[in-house]
A = this chain, B = another copy of it.
Amino acid sequence: MRPTVHDIAAEAGVSLATVDRVLNARPGVRRKTVDKVQAAVERLGYVRDVSAANLAKKRTYPLVFILPEGPNSFMRGLEAEIRAAMQRSPVERTAIRIETVPPFDPAAIVGVLDSLDPAEVNGVALVATDTPDVSAAVDRLVDRGVHVATLVSDLPGSQRIHFCGIDNLAAGRTAGGLIGRFCNGRAGKVLVVAGSMKLSDHMDRASGFAAVLRSEFPDLEIVGPVETNDDADTVRQAVTAALDAETEIIAIYSLGAGTRGLIEALPDREQRKLAVVAHEVTEHSRQALAEGLFDAVINQDCGHEVRSAIRVLKARADGLMPISAQERIRIDIFLKDNLP
């Protein structure tokens, strides 16, 4: 039978109330007594029964998610996952609110961050543009006692407690490794299409990609990155223009969104053998994979990211440090052959 607080009390030779004070870090216990209790906890291997604890303190965690509005499939998928988490609210004792802001609009994010009331909000997860004003607004919010985690795209200079997303440098390297191997010895140019260099995830992917090409595949030369603001039409025009202008392009790495535009711009498979790697499994990219138009798609599981963000924010609200090893989000690689 696993030990209870009663067993700890008996073992330590103190009362139940004292054990409770120690376990919940309440004041009014002498240092020596605290040690006695903690020793007893160690000896008996006591672990708090989370079920019972949750039952007793019927605490709820008010959280806010901030993400860009607009047609971006990935962001809409992210929103769907947040809504799924809201469905689980009664079980997880969360109260989640979603705030959407215009994409690529630092000022809008700052506005939302500054409007949050620490009395009503326990934690915030946001998809941020990596700009100084957003960073400052995050720091202000943290100073006001709200825990902040970044989602999908990081804010490295800020006081956010955690980044819930993939290692985008590694993602870029992976794309480089794949494209390099898919081109397999052929020399030529690789078109890199990005959304915005204001986003740290796009920046990181571009860097990682360039690093691998430079060191491992020196015969491949990068064209770009072309910035498209993740807009499908812009992507289509940019890719079409680049393919027309540069006949030596043998591969494309699309590290942002607007995948539909990329697909529309791609020439027939037979005409021109391009190695294509894109990001995020969506309806469009899935079909492009299946049809052989894309060779690989790098994906981040936004369900994992949302769940991780909630865990981390809840843990911090309880004064615990998140176990970062457990919260690592993996980079998924999909070929047509392993599409779920």
Contact = CB atoms under 8 A, between A and B. Distances in A.
A332 B337 CA distance: 12
Nearest to A335: B177
A330 B55 CA distance: 34
Contacts of A336: 177
A247 interface: no
Interface in A129-161: none
B51 A50 contact: yes
A335 B178 contact: yes
A195 interface: no
B54 A174 contact: no
Given A2-B90, A49-B55, A173 B331 contact: no
Contact of A90 (B47, B183, B295, B335): B47
A324 interface: no
Nearest to A186: B184
Contacts of A181: 181-182, 184, 295
Interface in A79-132: 90-91
A338 interface: yes
A190 interface: no
A328 B301 CA distance: 14
A52 interface: yes
Nearest to A49: B55
B177 A47 contact: no
Contacts of A171: 338
B51 A338 contact: no
Interface in A195-243: 208, 212
A195 to B, nearest CB: 21
A266 interface: no
A55 to B, nearest CB: 5
Contact of A182 (B55, B173, B184): B184
Contacts of A51: 50-52, 54-55
B338 A174 contact: yes
A340 interface: yes
A280 to B, nearest CB: 15
Contacts of A177: 335-338
A283 B331 CA distance: 20
Contacts of A49: 55
A212 B90 contact: no
Contact of A333 (B2, B54, B338): B338
Contacts of A183: 184
A170 interface: yes
Interface in A317-340: 328, 330-333, 335-338, 340
